[in-house]
């Protein structure tokens, strides 16, 4: 079945990915990963600082009990002192947790977006104001999956907490018989056990959500064959335009080459298929003949016509003409293996024109 060009079946190119990231702010990101990392980070910090936090709570309780037994004068000084005390212990107890929540809330986003900061996704879009668009988004497959995922998560968390508490019901009956510190430690350890189970669940959900988000991201970035062609044209240029540019460049090069023909000494032809114009500096003993123009068929005929107009000597030598055409680029001196053949042609040209060549220069032609 022929491809219509509209079906997105091709993987995104590096340029497409770069444009999606930098121009649209579209990156692979899972919110569940951020939630899981934040909860895990807070849980680890609370585990490490459990003794410290408990000690701070005990100090705060003792401080308030002591103050409760003293006569209170409700004035501005009393209110200020107690307010500062509450803020102090609140910062000492909850500060580490809040800082951890902020830190682990930001880090996953930075890692997933690779440090991308853009305001483009926050720009207002008038299409979002449309009630019809809002209803479509509300009942879209993505929204349905998000709601279903949230319901499943909450259901699993409730089930885990219920099962854990049910297992602990027998031991909880013994809680009143325990000493205060023993009861606190027992309760804290069980709470941490429940939280750890929830964290493991969140990590599993985050891993699954990341895979799902990756699949959606890759699907959204897919391109059609026509988009690939259009991108190639943008990056490499339209082949037709490039062809016209190359044609223009060839025409310019040919025009410059034709301008050199009137200054050449001899044109070697074969007889009409190839034509090579040679220039030779008779005064420079170290120089070799140089090809100033060459061409095939129509260009060869044009070189011959210009040579006739300017009375340039033309000689027919098929083997030499073909060798010069194949071996020497325009503007280059002839190679050593062609010295003798070209020397014969130049000698014939000079004799025909009655030009006497210096003996040392004549010898150099045949070296």
- Identify the CA nearest to 362 among candidates 240, 280, 249: 280
Whether 307 has a pLDDT exceeding 80, the answer reads yes
d(CA 265, CA 289): 9
d(CA 107, CA 102): 9
Whether 358 has a pLDDT exceeding 60, the answer reads no
d(CA 221, CA 11): 7
d(CA 93, CA 53): 5
Across the range 129-138, mean pLDDT stands at 59
In contact, 123 and 40? CB cutoff 8 Å? no
Residue 8 CB contacts under 8 Å (≥ 6 apart), including other chains:
222, 223, 224, 227
pLDDT score, position 2 = 42
Across the range 130-145, mean pLDDT stands at 62
pLDDT, tens digit (0-9, with 9 covering 90-100), for 165-187:
777 776 666 666 667 667 667 77
Q: Where are the domains of the chain?
A: 9-117+127-233, 242-365
| Chain centre distance of CA 102 | 29
- The share of the chain scoring above pLDDT 70, in percent, equals 76
Lowest mean pLDDT among 49-58, 183-192, 251-260, 332-341: 183-192
d(CA 303, CA 41): 82
pLDDT score, position 125 = 56
Across the range 277-287, mean pLDDT stands at 79
Lowest mean pLDDT among 97-101, 112-116, 265-269, 324-328: 112-116
Burial class (CB in 10 A: 0-12, 13-18, 19+), 63: middle
Across the range 267-286, mean pLDDT stands at 82
In contact, 298 and 282? CB cutoff 8 Å? no
Across the range 330-343, mean pLDDT stands at 87
pLDDT, tens digit (0-9, with 9 covering 90-100), for 58-67:
777 777 777 6
Whether 34 has a pLDDT exceeding 50, the answer reads yes
Q: pLDDT tier at 22 (50, 70, 90 boundaries)?
A: confident
- For residue 10, the 8-state DSSP code is E
Of 3.40.1690.10, 3.40.50.2300, 3.40.50.2000, 1.10.520.20, which CATH number belongs to 242-365? 3.40.1690.10
Strongest mean pLDDT among 63-77, 269-283, 344-358: 269-283
pLDDT, tens digit (0-9, with 9 covering 90-100), for 215-243:
888 888 888 888 877 777 766 666 666 77
Whether 297 has a pLDDT exceeding 60, the answer reads yes
Whether 153 has a pLDDT exceeding 80, the answer reads no
Whether 3 has a pLDDT exceeding 50, the answer reads no
Whether 311 has a pLDDT exceeding 80, the answer reads yes
Q: pLDDT tier at 127 (50, 70, 90 boundaries)?
A: low
pLDDT score, position 367 = 47
pLDDT score, position 157 = 78
Query: Token pair 């000079």 is at which residue?
Result: 350
Reading the block at residue 91, the tokens are 């910062």
Reading the block at residue 243, the tokens are 């062809």
The continuous run of DSSP H or E covering 7 comes out as none
pLDDT score, position 336 = 86
pLDDT score, position 55 = 80
In contact, 292 and 278? CB cutoff 8 Å? yes
pLDDT, tens digit (0-9, with 9 covering 90-100), for 86-108:
788 778 777 888 888 888 878 87
In contact, 154 and 184? CB cutoff 8 Å? no
Average pLDDT, the chain: 77
The count of other CB atoms within 10 Å of the CB of residue 66 is: 9
């Amino acid at each position: 079945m022929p491809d219509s060009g509209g079906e997105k079946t091709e993987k995104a190119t590096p340029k497409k990915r770069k444009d999606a990231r930098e121009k649209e702010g579209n990156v692979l990101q899972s919110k569940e990963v951020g939630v899981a990392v934040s909860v895990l980070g807070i849980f680890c910090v609370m585990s490490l600082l459990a003794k410290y936090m408990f000690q701070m709570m005990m100090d705060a309780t003792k401080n308030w009990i002591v103050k409760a037994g003293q006569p209170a004068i409700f004035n501005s000084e009393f209110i200020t002192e107690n307010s500062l005390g509450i803020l102090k212990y609140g910062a000492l107890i909850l500060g580490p947790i809040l800082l951890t929540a902020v830190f682990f809330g930001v880090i996953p986003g930075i890692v997933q977006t690779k440090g991308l900061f853009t305001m483009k996704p926050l720009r207002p879009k008038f299409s979002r104001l449309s009630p019809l668009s809002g209803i479509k988004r509300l009942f879209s497959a993505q929204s349905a999956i998000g709601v279903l995922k949230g319901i499943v998560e909450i259901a699993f968390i409730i089930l885990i907490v219920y099962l854990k508490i049910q297992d602990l019901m027998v031991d909880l009956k013994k809680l009143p018989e325990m000493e205060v510190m023993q009861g606190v430690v027992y309760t804290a350890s069980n709470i941490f056990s429940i939280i750890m189970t929830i964290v493991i669940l969140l990590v599993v959900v985050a891993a699954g959500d990341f895979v799902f988000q990756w699949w959606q991201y890759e699907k959204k970035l897919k391109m059609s064959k026509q988009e690939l062609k259009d991108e190639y044209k943008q990056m490499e240029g339209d082949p037709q335009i490039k062809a016209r540019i190359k044609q223009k460049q060839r025409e310019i090069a040919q025009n410059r080459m034709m301008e050199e023909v009137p200054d050449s000494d001899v044109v070697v032809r074969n007889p009409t298929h190839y034509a090579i114009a040679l220039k030779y500096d008779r005064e420079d003993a170290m120089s070799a003949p140089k090809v100033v123009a060459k061409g095939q068929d129509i260009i060869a005929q044009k070189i011959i016509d210009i040579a006739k107009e300017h009375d340039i000597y033309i000689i027919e030598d098929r083997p030499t003409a073909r060798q010069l055409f194949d071996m020497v680029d325009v503007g280059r001196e002839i190679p050593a293996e062609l010295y003798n053949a070209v020397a014969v042609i130049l000698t014939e040209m000079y004799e025909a024109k009655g030009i006497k060549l210096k003996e040392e220069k004549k010898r150099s032609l045949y070296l």
